[in-house]
Amino acid sequence: MKIAIVGPGAMGSLFGAFLARSGEDVWMLDHREDRATHIEKSGIKVEGISGNFRASVKATTDPKKISGAELIIVCVKSYDTEAVVKRIKSLLGDEALILTLQNGLGNIQIIEDVVDSAKIIAGVTSHGATLLGWGHVKHAGKGETVIGRLDGALTGRLRTIASIFKKAGFDTRSSRDIRGLIWSKLIINVGINGLTAVTRLNNGRLVEYEGVREVMRAAVSEAVKVARRKRIKLAYDDPIQKVESVCRATSGNISSMLQDVLNRRKTEIDFINGAIVRQAKGLGIATPTNETLLDLVKTVEESYDKYIKT
């Protein structure tokens, strides 16, 4: 299958390398010519818990070259989703599907504004990845990947994609309730990502300090109130226990938001804790902890050039 991956970041590179190694025709669509040239020439190097290997992929900045792709996987930051989808919209053939594997809440709605919802697949993955350089990724954590259509239908094409992912080495299944799973992952990110960005601790360290755990519990509890008011069915019974177990299971992982902060990039805080704040306001639910985390991470972003050097 011809598969185009938009965004050669940590997760895009991880999926691109595994899919290419399994024999799929993988194209990486980038907006940087120098990076695309590097990846085209050197491939993607993977190291970490899955071993060390290098996979050859095609890479380009020209959207026309991914024309004919049967599956387009969107792995860009949430704040770039609208621009990217508009850029590739004209290249979506009758049989093409677009899959979002992004963090946060709101990406589906952004894509739906541009693309027919029948072409959209949403997904969540528990794999952890750290980008070490252009076309160089560390596989830091394994977990389940779940994909689903917005209408809940378990189609043959959906099962085919799940099968391709399984063949590539990703434990993948289809779901009728992908929105519930997206909320389930969102709540985990609410408890982890912003705190790692502020404290600069990796996932596992968050549960070692009682002060941080208290903030985590408060942020998660607020998010759960919003989900319950919206009648979202979560994939776990005890959200706080789930977040803490994810911290331990991915103890060595540097969250995507902490990676952004360490590299002085814009974060996705607006689509994670910020999404909870926005949803809560419409429901009359107070979210002081999430508001504070939103403000703190925004301040970190805005003050990159003000850091005190030691």
Residues 6+ positions from 310 with CB-CB distance below 8 Å = none
Report whether 48 contacts 132 (CB < 8 A): no
> What is the Cα Rg of the chain in Å?
19
Distance CA 289, CA 153 (A): 37
Q: Between the CA of residue 223 and those of 112, 193, 211, 246, 256, what are the distances in Å? A: 24, 14, 19, 17, 20
Closest to 220 measured CA to CA, from 197, 194, 200, 201: 194
Q: Between the CA of residue 4 and those of 17, 41, 90, 188, 199, what are the distances in Å? A: 12, 17, 14, 28, 35
What is the set of active-site residues?
Answer: 185
Distance CA 258, CA 64 (A): 34
Residues 6+ positions from 205 with CB-CB distance below 8 Å = 199, 251
Q: Between the CA of residue 237 and those of 103, 206, 216, 227, 243, what are the distances in Å? A: 22, 21, 17, 13, 11
Tokens (6 digits) for 120: 């959209």
Distance CA 225, CA 150 (A): 23
Greatest CA separation found in the chain?
A: 57
Q: Between the CA of residue 101 and those of 5, 104, 145, 262, what are the distances in Å? A: 10, 10, 9, 22
Cα-Cα-Cα-Cα torsion 79, 286, 298, 217, nearest 10 degrees, comes to -100
